[in-house]
């Protein structure tokens, strides 16, 4: 006899309000149904009432963790419509901010995953390191969360002392390589709690259209930084970590390896940071009539913006956002099938869901 257990919309294992209806037989999950829509804020409609400066500030608030990525994607789309191209130094600064944000997101997720495993000491370690990543972000932008770095044609703030930032990055790398990476890659606790659960095989990953670390943990070498490079990524060398197992441990390993790659990218970008201006210096931005799209690899996967404008208008006629959680969340249904009920909190968290930015 099967029975239904509601998980959410408010639950200790959920980062944000959403709901999973779990259909169980005994302690085994047979099926699940996902419910979202608890966080609707109408941001896309509000964007139609804002000019290009105001809409940049608005879209930075789509997601608290990926705020920089959203403004980067938006600005790249608006730059196509305005005929603007950021100078080389601005492109490198955009990469530096994007990779610091990736570090912040991955370490935050690692802490939450540790808590769900019952590994609370590791939770505190991850959050201590997260504070230091935010210190680096604040050293560059002056802010720890919403950085206000991106603008049409460049960035708002320069990196005055790259060597000082590089020293902070080196310290971060030392702590991560000592405390985070070895534990997540070799710990018997992580292995016993994560291996073999929440499996999403390559075939199902393709059919679900998953993106980001969720896709790469199912054997798909999918990364917009490599497939459709933007900003300064074409000039930087990095690997795209891929794991074939498709389970929670594979998603853990992919993020751990991406932390190493992000540090490598940051070091290259800071050492190669070219001289010059950080924006085009054109305060009078003029848009053509049309629609432009932009894709960026956020910490959770591909973010896509579609921006429509009419020539002579102060405001965009349409701003549409597709976040990575939107395409990743249906896969949770297949991940939990056959799993133990006690493992479902960790399985759903393994896609690093952000339902607030999905609902908007």
The CA–CA distances, whole Å, from 17 to 9, 38, 153, 344 equal 5, 6, 36, 16
**Sign of the dihedral defined by the CA atoms of residues 247, 352, 135, 223, in that order:** positive
At a CB cut-off of 8 Å and minimum separation 6, what does 358 contact?
Answer: 36, 323, 325, 326, 329
pLDDT band of residue 209 (cuts 50, 70, 90) is very high
Percent of the chain with pLDDT over 90: 49
Structural domain count of the chain: 1
Q: CB–CB of 69/221 below 8 Å? A: no
Mean pLDDT of the chain: 89
With a cut of 70, say whether residue 190 has pLDDT above it: yes
* Order of strands, sheet of 301-309, starting from the edge strand that comes earlier in the sequence: 290-298, 301-309, 318-322
With a cut of 70, say whether residue 325 has pLDDT above it: yes
Each residue's pLDDT tens digit, 22-51: 888 888 889 888 888 888 888 999 999 999
Each residue's pLDDT tens digit, 245-286: 999 989 988 998 999 899 999 999 999 999 999 998 877 788
Indicate which CATH number applies to the domain containing 99: 1.10.645.10
At residue 304, the pLDDT reads: 95
**Nearest by Cα to 303 from 77, 69, 43:** 69
Q: What is the DSSP string of 117-148?
A: HT-HHHHHHHHHHHHHHHHHHHHHHS-SS---
At residue 13, the pLDDT reads: 66
Each residue's pLDDT tens digit, 83-105: 999 999 999 999 999 999 999 99
Each residue's pLDDT tens digit, 123-158: 888 888 889 899 999 999 988 888 999 999 999 999
Q: Which domain holds residue 294?
A: 3-359
Q: Residue 213 and residue 9: Cα distance in Å, rounded?
A: 25
At residue 342, the pLDDT reads: 86
Q: Which residue has the higher pLDDT, 94 or 115?
A: 94
With a cut of 80, say whether residue 8 has pLDDT above it: no
Kindly state the helix (H) or strand (E) to which residue 181 belongs, with its residue range. helix 181-186
């509000």: which residue's tokens?
46
Preceding amide of 9 cis, omega within 30? yes
Q: Which residue has the higher pLDDT, 208 or 121?
A: 208
With a cut of 70, say whether residue 1 has pLDDT above it: no
At residue 272, the pLDDT reads: 93
Q: What is the DSSP string of 230-273?
A: -TTGGGS-------SS-SHHHHHHHHHHHHHHHHHHHHHHHHH-
Q: CB–CB of 65/356 below 8 Å? A: no
pLDDT band of residue 171 (cuts 50, 70, 90) is confident
With a cut of 90, say whether residue 191 has pLDDT above it: no
210-214, 299-303, 322-326, 355-359: which range is least confident on average?
Answer: 355-359
**Nearest by Cα to 28 from 345, 342, 357, 356:** 342
At residue 138, the pLDDT reads: 92
């Amino acid at each position: 006899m099967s029975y239904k257990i509601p998980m959410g919309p408010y639950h200790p294992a959920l980062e944000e309000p959403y709901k999973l209806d779990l259909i169980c037989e005994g302690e085994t999950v047979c099926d699940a149904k996902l419910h979202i829509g608890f966080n609707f804020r109408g941001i896309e409609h509000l964007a139609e009432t804002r000019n290009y400066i105001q809409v940049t500030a608005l879209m930075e608030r789509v997601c608290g963790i990926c705020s920089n990525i959203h403004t980067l994607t938006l600005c790249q789309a608006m730059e196509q419509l305005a005929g603007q191209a950021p100078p080389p130094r601005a492109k490198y600064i955009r990469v530096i901010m994007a990779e610091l944000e990736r570090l912040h997101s991955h370490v935050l997720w690692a802490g939450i995953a540790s808590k769900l495993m019952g590994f609370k000491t590791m939770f505190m370690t991850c959050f201590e390191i997260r504070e230091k990543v935010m210190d680096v972000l604040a050293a560059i932008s002056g802010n720890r969360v919403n950085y206000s770095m991106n603008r049409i044609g460049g960035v708002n703030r320069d990196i005055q002392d790259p060597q000082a930032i590089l020293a902070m990055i080196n310290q971060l790398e030392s702590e991560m390589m000592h405390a985070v990476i070895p534990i997540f890659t070799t710990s018997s606790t992580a292995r016993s709690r994560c291996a073999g659960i929440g499996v999403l095989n390559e075939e199902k990953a393709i059919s679900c259209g998953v993106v980001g670390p969720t896709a790469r943990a199912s054997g798909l070498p999918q990364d917009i930084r490599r497939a459709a490079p933007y900003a300064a990524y074409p000039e930087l060398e990095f690997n795209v970590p891929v794991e074939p197992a498709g389970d929670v441990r594979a998603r853990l390993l992919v993020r751990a390896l991406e932390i190493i790659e992000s540090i490598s990218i940051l070091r290259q970008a800071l050492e190669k940071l070219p001289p010059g201006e950080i924006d085009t210096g054109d305060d009078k931005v003029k848009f053509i009539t049309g629609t432009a799209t932009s894709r960026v690899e956020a910490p959770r996967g591909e973010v896509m913006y579609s921006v429509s404008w009419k020539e002579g208008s102060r405001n965009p006629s349409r701003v549409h956002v597709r976040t990575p959680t939107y395409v990743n969340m249906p896969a949770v249904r297949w991940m939990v099938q056959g799993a133990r009920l006690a493992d479902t909190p960790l399985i759903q968290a393994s896609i690093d869901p952000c339902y607030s930015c999905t609902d908007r």
